Amino acid sequence: MSAVTAPVRPHRFFRARVARITDLTPSFRRFTFVGDDLALYGDPGFDQRIKVVFPTEAAGLDAMPTGEDWYAEYRAMPESARPPFRTYTTRGVRREETEVDVDMVSHAILGPASAWIASARPGDEVLLLAPDARYEGEPGGLDFVPPAATGEHLLVGDETAAPAIARILEQLPREATGVVVLEVPDERDCAYLPHHPGFRIYAAGREGSERHEHLTRVVAAHAPILCPDGTGSDVEEIDVDRDPLWEVPRSAKGGAALKSAPLYAWIAGESIAVTTLRRHLVKEIGVDRRAVAFMGYWRQGRAEGS
Ligand SMILES: Cc1cc2nc3c(=O)[nH]c(=O)nc-3n(C[C@H](O)[C@H](O)[C@H](O)COP(=O)(O)OP(=O)(O)OC[C@H]3O[C@@H](n4cnc5c(N)ncnc54)[C@H](O)[C@@H]3O)c2cc1C
């Protein structure tokens, strides 16, 4: 009689402990996680999002349901018994060494993730909900899907999107071209992004200026040059208090929505900024909305999932 093996699910929880903490710049702190399990950590690349479960005094990691119906079980738990989780981006994977890097912005302690980031030490444990390397299909959670024939790329984001932008730059071919517009808390954080020979990087610290000011100004200056023949189209207004600010145009098969586009834009960060930029690109500049991915990574004044 042959043993029945359970089918591999697209994602699974990995128990991982902090091996090293590296302060890369004033705001970017790299957590290198290690754990035998990480030999199976799936790495589709680009902006692969993951969940990080943080233990608290009231709710340790063992309280986290990790089976197939984990989310329904989690929602059924009393709130005080649930270990909190937040969304992050895989920054580096070294499966042979069972190591994974996640770069986290260290900002004021405002929620469970920032509290953990400020106090974590080597040896501390988390759970990572990430793709299972054994899964043969597309696991989901990857939102950078440019058309096969993309003229220029426009990557725009705040500090929370910087790890994804860094990974995209590292993984795009050398022949790819485009512009990155990044706003970070401190001028010294601009050094975080890697060099790509085909990309011009406009990164700026936020000191002394309004949040988003750099993003809107630089996108307004460059978008008409990157997309001179846009025809402008209407966009439905999004109520960021009600609707999820997430639109990643895809084909029916899950790939890019278009085969080719003169410009592909990927915009991620604080929801209000992302809405403003998307409206500008689609309505005023006329970028084909099927070539614009926009993702509200976080919302000023609101905790993730609330
Ligand atoms: C797909 C995706 C990928 C992401 N990747 C990364 C990543 O690689 N690295 C990374 O650092 N972050 C990343 N983020 C953002 C991260 O999930 C949020 O910053 C996170 O919610 C912070 O959790 P918290 O517990 O500190 O605050 P929450 O409990 O979520 O919120 C508490 C308060 O803090 C505010 N807040 C949340 N984030 C910030 C911030 N960055 N700056 C200032 N105020 C904030 C909220 O508005 C709220 O008022 C990503 C988000 C998404 C959706």
The two tokens of residue 144 are: 């950078």
**Does 6 fall in a domain?**
no
Residue ranges of alpha helices (H) inside the chain are: 70-76, 112-119, 162-171, 213-226, 271-279
pLDDT at 175: 97
Ligand 1 mutation pick, 85, 298, 299, 300, max ligand atoms within 8 A of CB: 298
| Domain identity same for 79 and 219 | no
| Domain identity same for 155 and 275 | yes
From CA 128, how far away is CA 83, in angstroms rounded?
12
| Domain identity same for 286 and 155 | yes
The two tokens of residue 177 are: 């071209």
| Domain identity same for 280 and 220 | yes
**Does 231 fall in a domain?**
yes
Q: Is 160 in the pocket of ligand 1 (CB under 6 A)?
A: yes
Classify the C-alpha dihedral 149-294-110-38 as positive or negative. negative
Residue type (1 letter), 132: D
**Does 143 fall in a domain?**
no
| Domain identity same for 34 and 101 | yes
Residues 6+ apart with CB under 8 A from 76: none
pLDDT at 231: 73
pLDDT at 236: 64
Count of C-beta atoms within a 10 Å radius of residue 182: 25
Q: What is the pLDDT of residues 90-115, one digit of tens each?
A: 999 999 999 999 999 998 888 999 99
**Does 103 fall in a domain?**
yes
Ranges in the chain, pLDDT < 50: none
Name the nearest CA neighbour of 165 among 214, 199, 207. 199
| Domain identity same for 116 and 216 | no
What's the whole-model pTM score? 0.95
pLDDT at 257: 93
| Pairing mode of beta strands 178-184, 149-158 | parallel
Range of the domain at 81: 11-131
Can you name the residues that pair with 87 across neighbouring β-strands?
A: 51
Where residue 271 sits, what CATH number does that domain have? Answer: 3.40.50.80
pLDDT at 252: 86
Considering its fold, how many domains does the chain have in total?
A: 2
Q: Is 157 in the pocket of ligand 1 (CB under 6 A)?
A: no
